[in-house]
A and B are shown apart, each in its own frame.
Chain A
Amino acid sequence: MRDSEPCVGTGEGGGGGDTPALDPAGGGVPALEVHDLTVSYLKRPVLYGVDLAVPPGKLVGIVGPNGAGKSTLVKSVMGLVPASGGWVKVFGRPTRENIARVGYVPQRESVDWDFPVNVMDVVLMGCYGRLGLVRRPGKAERERAMAALGKVGMEAYSRRQIANLSGGQQQRVFLARALAQECDLYLMDEPFAGVDAATEAAIVTLLGEMRDRGKTVLVVHHDLATAREYFDMLLLLNMRVVAFGDTQEVFTGELLQKTYGGRLTLLSEMADTIARQS
């Protein structure tokens, strides 16, 4: 059922033949494996000894307080932030060697939305990795970008300048760009931040569809109230991994307390919710 489309074949750098055991369709290989990952900014540690093995085909929420290192973890997996220790593997190989299979959706505020490009230009960027140096996107790429825009309900906006979009529409454009990348593993940094309710619902549906097509999606998420219903698995993070597992097992008052420390005013509320539901 998982579509092992061109993405797999056109991976970087060749030389994949020496690892026949790591067939992507084979069951055993985690989509993402992180071992003892430590990251520091100016000698101040942000992440300590993170261990993770995310099975393929799961929708995973990364939850934790501000400054817990959620974005840093995602960036470090993508190789955007240097690690001071440990390693990361994507489908059994270092991220750099499997770059075509991993898609990254940065935070919406990380780019300048006054940049002189339109929606189609942005979505086409999702095809750049596949094209290689110098080659320009052509008709096939435009069609794929249009299809991706269709999936997020933004076809009608393809020629719109990106500054003239609402926050929710901008986030949809980013998701369409990720879809156009046609990867197997996605890492999304706060895709729900500052979007309207309709967009949030649309994104949730889309993430579910992606998971059902065998994609693995990791989402940095801020809102505990919805984390429980949105994700198959949760990673509770506060500089270290507090817990990682199926949502029902991990979403407990005790573990959340441990993750958020004394800072969680929501906590009693959550505990009540849990008590009521179980």
Chain B
Amino acid sequence: MSAYDIFVEPWASHASSYWPVAAMAFFVTAACGLVGNYLVLRRISLVGDAISHSVLPGIAIAFILTGSRSGFPMFLGALVAGVATTVIIETLHVRSRLKQDAAIGVTFSTLFAIGVILVSVHGGHTDLDLDCVLFGKMDIIMDMPAVFAGLPAVVLTMAAVALAVGLLILLFYKELLVSSFDPNLAASIGIDPRIAHYLLMAVLSIVVVAAFTSVGAILVIAMLILPAATAYLLTDRLWVMMVLSVAHSLLSALGGVHLTVALEVPTAPAAVVVGATLFLLAWVASPRHGLLRLWLRRPAPGGGEPAGEGDTAVA
């Protein structure tokens, strides 16, 4: 394989056929990444992991009841399951000696197991299969009929979800900010942090179920956390963090599709690997919080000239 084959050829000859996959990857990572900002800042990243697993029984039950694999019933099932998960976690956490991490572990593993059983009992003679649920299948998008702008319906749905998430964050920016930063103050000025929490969890459930079939339960957590974690290392302003997380989503989606074409690997894991690489870069080289900055700062404990040395070292 020449450099041309790896870096240029995929875009030169496959761009149009992979356009729906690239769009889907971006909308999934952007929607997940936007919500993920709040998960990271509220230190509830693992709740995202929990919900990404425990929506499974919700989807399965909706599927069993309606027999259809698409659309509204699945969203509703996932929404109910997602919110139920947060309620159970909160209840276990408040009403028992368990700390939150243990409450999360108990809740999502149980719900996920129930989901797996439901799928294997009822999904055998249909197209809801476990591989798809666990790992996602983005490539099947290419075979779907295009509805608009060369994109099939699932991609348009995901685009709508990503857009809705963006709009909600724009609208309720200040409420989300104060209830994430200082829930006590929020409550004292009439912005109920519990309502904010449950709304956030509801949005998270919708995003997760929309992303589910293409990314799978296992990799959703990476899509949720990597963009926000990377952006968090790069800035000290919340809105900049939001913008950077979307940029991260775009880069990892494009990189993921690129790897898919060049190396013939599945898109979702490829996008995660690219996203993780970006995270590592940020961790090492972030202008304010990166390792390089810390190392350069350390040998300069006092005095004026050491700072100058640091500057030249950077240049």
The interface of chain A, by Cβ under 8 A from chain B, is: 12, 75, 78-80, 99, 102-104, 106, 110-112, 115-118, 121-122, 125, 128-129, 131, 133-134, 136-137, 161, 163, 177, 181
Do A128 and B41 have beta carbons less than 8 Å apart? Answer: no
B195-239 at interface with A (beta carbon < 8 Å) = 232, 235-238
Which residues of A are found within 8 Å of B185, using beta-carbon distances? Answer: 104, 106, 125, 177
**Chain B proximity of A145: nearest CB distance (Å):** 13
State whether B181 touches A112 (Cβ < 8 A): yes
A131→B236 CA distance, assembly (Å)? 25
Alpha-carbon gap, A227 to B21, bound state (A): 67
Are A128's CB and B191's CB within 8 A? yes
Cα separation A121 to B241 with both chains bound (whole Å): 14
Q: Quick one: which of A99, A117, A163 contacts B181, CB cutoff 8 A?
A: A117
Q: How far is the CB of B312 from chain A (nearest CB, A)?
A: 24
A–B Cβ pairs within 8 angstroms, 17 of them:
A75-B184, A78-B188, A79-B187, A79-B188, A80-B188, A102-B188, A111-B181, A112-B181, A116-B238, A118-B236, A122-B181, A125-B174, A125-B181, A125-B182, A137-B174, A161-B236, A163-B236
On whether the beta carbons of A104 and B175 are closer than 8 Å, the reply is no
- Decide: A136 and B189 in contact? CB cutoff 8 A: no
Q: Which residues of A contact B241 (CB under 8 A)?
A: 116
Shortest CB distance A54–B (Å): 18
Residues of A within 8 A of B41 (CB): 112, 115-116
Q: In this complex, which of B173, B182, B189 has the most chain A Cβ atoms within 10 angstroms of its Cβ?
A: B189
Complex contacts, A129 vs chain B, CB 8 Å: 189-191
Bound-state CA distance A122–B196 (Å) is 18
| Pairs A-B, 4 closest by C-beta atoms | A129-B189, A104-B188, A161-B236, A106-B184
Chain A residue numbers with a CB within 8 Å of B181 are 111-112, 115, 117, 122, 125
Give the distance in Å from the alpha carbon of A129 to the alpha carbon of B237 in the complex. Answer: 22
Contact of B184 among A80, A121, A134, A181 (CB under 8 A): A80
Task: Select which of B178, B190, B232 is within 8 A of A125 by beta carbon.
Answer: B178
Contacts of A80 in B (CB 8 A): 184, 187-188
**Out of B171, B187, B232, which one reaches A78, CB within 8 Å?**
B187
A9 and B85 CA atoms in complex are apart in Å by: 41
Report how far A80 CA is from B232 CA in the complex, Å.
Answer: 30
Q: How far is the CA of A134 from the CA of B190 in the complex (A)?
A: 13
A4 to chain B, nearest CB (A): 19
List residues of chain A with CB within 8 A of the CB of B236. Answer: 116-118, 161, 163
From A12, A106, A122, A134, contact of B172 by CB (8 A) = A134
Residue from A103, A115, A122, A133 whose CB has the most chain B CB atoms within 10 Å:
A115
Set of chain A residues within 8 Å of B184, measured between Cβ atoms: 75, 78, 80, 104, 106, 110
The answer to whether B177 and A117 touch across the interface, beta carbons within 8 angstroms, is: yes
In the complex, what distance in Å separates the CA atom of A53 from the CA atom of B238?
42
Which of A99, A104, A131 is within 8 Å of B174, CB to CB? A131
Look across to chain A and name the residue whose beta carbon is closest to the beta carbon of B43. A112
> A163–B235 Cα gap in the complex (Å)?
12
Also in contact, A110 and B177, with CB within 8 A (given A99-B189, A116-B236):
no
